[in-house]
Amino acid sequence: MYQGNETIVALATPPGIGAIGVIRLSGDDAITIADKIFKGKCLSEQATHTLHFGKIADGERIIDEVVASLFKAPKSYTGEDVVEISCHGSQYILEQIINLCIDKGAVMAKAGEFTQRAFLNGKLDLAQAEAVADLISSESGAAHQAAIHNLRGGFSHELKAMREELIKFSALIELELDFSQEDVEFADRTQLYNLINNLITHIQKLISSFSLGNVIKNGVSVAIIGKPNAGKSTLLNALLNEERAIVSDIAGTTRDTIEETLNINGILFRLIDTAGIREHTSDIIESIGVQRSKDTMKKADIVICLFDVNTATPKELDQQRREVQEAGAKYLLVGNKANQLGVENAKAEFGTEAFYISARDKHNIEQLREELYKRVTSGNINTEGTIVTNLRHYNNLKEVGRSLAEVKAGMDNNLPGDLLALDIRRSLHYLGEITGEVTTEDKLDYIFSKFCIGK
Ligand SMILES: Nc1nc2c(ncn2[C@@H]2O[C@H](COP(=O)(O)OP(=O)(O)OP(=O)(O)O)[C@@H](O)[C@H]2O)c(=O)[nH]1
Ligand SMILES: [Mg+2]
């Protein structure tokens, strides 16, 4: 078991005022330290997984009435003795109790240290520990679903199964090396070849799930770009279903970018309304806004090119499309105010690639939402399977894929076992790094430092 030697303490709930605040202690002395400040039953004598009402006191001075929850090693989140003190959620009380714990011998926990200990004690593997952080920060249904799948070990099981099969073969091949004089083959080459092929397909599937995983975890930025008065702010409001941005018939109404989030079927979209782009404006503030719009366009995942079907020309539209393409963003052409000209007339003039709406009359807005969703998910998200959402995992999977491709190429060229073994070992290493079976202390510290304090 991991020897944490020090007992750590931290606030587990968000700082600030709340009905309840929870302070967590973990380590060999967690219960003894709690007993020193807890007036009630002696916690050391109580059974694990029990709750106890009592008071926290600094000598004679009562600080709060609390409930202490007791989790004895190894049946706790960290695998160590854990005491959670639920007190009233006052900043003052929370600070006092934490300070008291430190006085009695605890040390302040580092970011992610509880989860790091859980990992070191074998409660979770590394991919699961990272899923804890993702779960806490999940803001949409899809992000939550992916994180809970990984936390429950879905991804880890897949990787473990792959690793075990590879280990079996690498052991056989290495055994052959011991008998190199005798020219024997313990590892059936056809079987190995099939295995490598299957693994490559599997890894490739995981790798390609990352573009969706990234969308799920970080959301999608959608910039609404177009000439003044095209109806960009009206469209933002229609998509959000609230009067968020000011709308007027004065060209140049929106001067700064406005950002709001919209959840479509569990995916988070960050909609950005921008200042209408016109090239020659003498207004300094407007021209700063225009520059900002262009920058926003470059950073967006999807650009909605909005045009007024009654005033735009196909030539203008082509130019707008070219600009967005040069910026490297996906674009969606949307013709607005189609109610005036009529959708069929608009199609005849601007083509069928564009999507025709009326932002003001909320015509075709639901369809536009669906279209946005389809653009990033290519239809349905299958939340049952594993979706890779973590950049570190993604990078490692690419390395695994590369090493396996080397094994395959080596077999195609009849390379000797020792060379195959090298590439197999390399792919095992990268697989093992994801779940933390092989990893260095520095790397662990880095990964856990990105967690919040108290987790
Ligand atoms: N007829 C009609 N008018 C619309 C429609 N959508 C927006 N408008 C009107 O067009 C005008 C401009 O709308 P805005 O949303 O302010 O346009 P914008 O693109 O944000 O303009 P700037 O912020 O100045 O760049 C307003 O008077 C809207 O009421 C529509 O679908 N049909
Ligand atoms: Mg506007």
| Closest-approaching ligand to the CA atom of 312 | 1
Which residues, by Cβ under 5 Å, contact ligand 2, an ion?
232-233, 253-254
Mean local confidence (pLDDT), 288-298 = 78
**Å from CA of 371 to ligand 2 middle:** 22
Q: Is the CB of 231 under 6 A from ligand 1?
A: yes
Does the beta carbon of 336 sit less than 6 angstroms from any atom of ligand 1? yes
Rounded Cα distance between 143 and 268, Å, is 9
Instruction: Identify the pLDDT of residue 234.
Output: 96
Output the pLDDT for position 2: 53
**Pocket flag, ligand 1, residue 364 (CB < 6 Å):** no
* Least confident stretch, 162-166, 323-327, 408-412: 323-327
Q: What is the residue with the minimal CA distance to atom 14 of ligand 1?
A: 231
Stretch 133-147: mean pLDDT: 88
Give the mutation target among 224, 240, 247, 304 for probing the ligand 1 site: most ligand atoms within 8 A of CB: 247
170 falls in which pLDDT band (50, 70, 90)? confident
Q: Where are the alpha helices (DSSP H) in 121-253?
A: 126-137, 141-151, 154-178, 189-208, 210-218, 232-240
Ligand 1 pocket test: pick from 224, 225, 229 the residue with the most ligand atoms within 8 Å of its Cβ.
229
- Taking 70 as the threshold, does the pLDDT of residue 281 lie above it? no
**Distance between Cα 350 and ligand 2 center (Å):** 23
Q: Which residues of 58-88 are buried (b: 16+ CB within 10 A; e: fewer)?
A: eeeeebbebebbbbbbeebbbbbbbbbbbbb
pLDDT tens track for 386-433: 889 999 999 999 999 999 999 999 999 988 888 888 999 999 999 999
- Report the nearest atom of ligand 1 relative to the CA of 250: 24
Residue 382: per-residue pLDDT? 62
Q: Which residue has the higher pLDDT, 137 or 53?
A: 53
What is the Å distance from ligand 2's center to 292 Cα? 13
CA dist., res. 138 & res. 340, Å (int): 42
| Confidence (pTM) | 0.76
pLDDT at 154: 87
Q: Given this model, what pLDDT does residue 441 score?
A: 81
Mean pLDDT for 370-394 is 81
Q: Which residue has the tokens 């932002």?
A: 359
User: What pLDDT band is residue 87 in, cutting at 50, 70 and 90?
Assistant: very high
Of the candidates 276, 314, 316, the one whose C-alpha atom is nearest the C-alpha of residue 296 is 276
Q: Tens digits of per-residue pLDDT, 90-130?
A: 999 999 999 999 999 999 999 999 999 999 999 999 999 99
On the question of pLDDT at 372 being above 80, the answer is: yes
Alpha-carbon distance of 161 to 206, in angstroms, equals 14
pLDDT at 274 over 60: yes
Question: Ligand 1 pocket check: which of 239, 257, 281, 360 to mutate, most ligand atoms within 8 Å of Cβ?
Answer: 360
Note the pLDDT tens digit of each residue in 198-256: 999 999 999 998 988 888 888 899 999 998 999 999 999 999 999 999 998 888 888 88
- Out of 86-100, 287-301, 352-366, pick the least confident: 287-301
> Is residue 233 in contact with ligand 1, taking CB distance under 6 Å?
yes
Look over the chain and give the mean of its residue pLDDT values, rounded to a whole number. 89
